[in-house]
Structure 1
Amino acid sequence: MSSTFSLKYMSRRVSCAFNLLQVCLVVAVLALLVTASPLFAENALNGAENTAEAETEAGVAAAEVIQAPALAAIAPAPAADEPLSPRMRAALGYVAQRYRVSADALRPIFHAVQSTSQELSLDPLLIVAVIGVESRFNPFSQSVMGAQGLMQVIPRFHKDKLPANAGKAPLLDPVTNVRVGSLALEEAIRRNGGLMEGLQQFAGATRDEDQTYATKVLSEKQRLEDAANRRLGRG
C-alpha cells in the first residue's frame, strides 16, 4: 500500500511539473508574439506600401503609354525650323499682350505667317494686321457669311487654294487658314494693282469709296510696326 501511494504521489508530481512546463511554454510563446508583432506589422505595412507604390508606378507608366498618342494628336504642330525674326518676335509680344492670347498659342501662327509671307513676297506684319482686324486671333471665329478662321476666308470662294488632303473644316486649322488667306490677299493685291484696292477686294468692299477696311488694316499694321520698334529699342 505504501508503494502504491508513492507511485501515485510521484505520478501527480510529474503531471504537475508537465502542466507547469506547458504553461511556461505558452507564456513564452505569447511573450514572443507580443514582442515580434510590431515588427510583423511594420513589415506587412512596408510590404503593402511597396506593392501599392509598384502598382501606382506601373499604372502611371501604362497611362503615359496610352495617353501619348492622344496628346500627340492634339498638340500644336512643331514650330518651323527657321526661327522668328526679331521683328516678328517683337510683334508677337505686342499681339499677345494686346489681344490677351497665349504667346505659345500665337507662335505657330507667326511661324506660318513668316514662311508664307516670304513665299508670296508680302510684308508679314500686313498679314498679322489682317488677322487682328478679321478675327482678333480667334482661329475658330465664323461670320454670318460663312467666313472662317483667322483671316475669315470664305471656303466656296477659295477651294482652289486648299491643300489636296484638306479635311471637312480645313480653314479652322490656323496654319492652313494663314496660307489660304495669304494666297487670297496676294491675289487680290496683284489683280487690283495696289495695296489699298487689294485690301478692299479681299474684304469684299470694292464699292466703298472711303476704303474704310484698307485704312483700318494699315492703321493696325502701323501699330504693330511702332510696337515692334519700341520693343527692339528703335522707337
Structure 2
Amino acid sequence: MTLHCTWCFPIRTFLRDTARGLFIVTHSGLAMVGLSAAALVVALWWQPDWLNQAEGTLFDWLRERQVLLSWLPENTAERATAVDLKDLPKSQAAVAEWLGRKYKVAPEPLAALVAESHVLSKKTKLPPHLILAVMAIESNFHPYVQSQAGAQGLMQVMTGIHAQRYEAYGGKLAAFDPISNLRVGAEVLADFIKLRGGSIEEGLKFYLGGYELSEDGGYVAKVLAEQSLLDQVAAGVNVPTQ
C-alpha cells in the first residue's frame, strides 16, 4: 500500500502540471489569435481598400480553381462584364484595344474576355489567343448571335447539346452571358482537341461540325491566322486591323 502511494503522488503531480501547462499554452494561443483577429478587423475598417483587394484576390483564386461552382453557382447578373484597360497587363490591354478597333466593339467588355481567356488557359491548357481567335471567327465578339443550327453566343456553343455544362451558371440561358459562354465554349473546345488526339486543327474541325464535317471551308486557317495576329499584337507589333 505504501509503495502504491509513493508512485501515485508523482503521477498526480505530473498530470496536474501537464494539464496546467496545456491550459496556459492554449489560453495564450487563443488570446493571440483573438488579438490578431481584432487587429485585422480594425485594420480592414481603417483601410477598406485592403478588404476589397483581399476579397478580390480570394475569389479570383477560388474562381480559377472552380472551387465555388460546385455549391455556389455564379450569379452572372451581379458580375461586371467590363474591365478598365489600365487594370490589365500591357500585352492584354493591347490585345483588347486591337480587337475593339477591328470588330468595332467597346474595348472594356473585350478586356474582360481577354482577362478571362488567360484564366481559362491555365485550366484548359489552350493558348489564350486561340480561345479569343475562336470567338472572333465564330461571332465577331457579339454575344447574342444565334446560328440556324442553334449555336449561341460568343463561342457559338450548341446549347441544346451542351445544356448540362450551363447548369453551374444558372441554366441554358447563361449561353448569352459572355463570360459563361466563353467558359463553356473553352471547355468544349479543349475536350474536342483531346478527343482528336491532341491536334488543335482536328479539334477545331470537330468544334465546327463534329463527325459529319468533311470540309471546313477555311475555318481552321482563319482561326489560326487570327491567333497569330493576336500573338503579334501582344508582343508589341503594330498590326493593322484590315
Q: 2-side partners of 1:210 and 1:154: how far apart?
A: 17
Per the alignment, in what secondary structure is the counterpart of residue 202 of structure 2? helix
Residue 7 of structure 1 is matched in structure 2 by none
- TM-score w.r.t. the length of structure 2 is 0.59
Q: How far off its partner does 1:184 sit?
A: 0.4
Q: Which residue of 2 aligns with 1:41?
A: none
Structure 1 range deviating more: 161-170 or 111-120: 161-170
Letter in structure 2 aligned against 1:136: N
What residue ranges of structure 1 are gaps of 5+ in the alignment? 1-72
- 224, 233, 242: which one aligns with 1:227: 233
Taking the aligned partners of 1:230 and 1:212, their CA distance within structure 2 comes to 28
What corresponds to 2:115 in structure 1? 111
Could you tell me how far apart the structure 2 residues matched to 1:146 and 1:152 are? 8
Could you tell me how far apart the structure 1 residues matched to 2:146 and 2:138 are?
Answer: 10
Aligned-pair CA distance for 1:223? 1.6
Report if the CA contact (8 A) 1:125-1:225 is conserved: yes
Q: What is residue 166 of structure 1 aligned with on the other side?
A: 170
Question: Over alpha carbons, which structure has the higher Rg?
Answer: 1
**Partner AA of 2:207 in structure 1:** F
Q: Provide TM-score, normalisation by structure 1.
A: 0.60
Residue 201 of structure 2 is aligned to residue 196 of structure 1: yes
The separation in 2 between residues aligned to 1:156 and 1:144, in whole angstroms, is 13
Displaced runs of 4+ in structure 1, greater than 4 A?
Answer: 77-80
Give deviations 1:81-118, integer Å, cap 9, x for gaps.
Answer: xx644332221121011111111121222222121111
**Is residue 140–residue 149 contact of structure 1 (8 Å, CA) maintained in 2?**
yes
Q: Which amino acid aligns with 1:219?
A: A
How many residues are treated as equivalent by the alignment? 159
Measured against aligned partners, the alpha-carbon deviations of 1:171-216 in whole angstroms (never above 9, x if no partner) come to 1000000000000000000000111000000001653356722111
Q: CA deviation at 1:119?
A: 1.2
Mapping for residues 202-217 of structure 1, pairs under 5 Å: 202-204=207-209, 206=211, 207-209=213-215, 212-217=218-223
Identity score, percent: 33
CA distance in 2, matches of 1:78, 1:227: 21
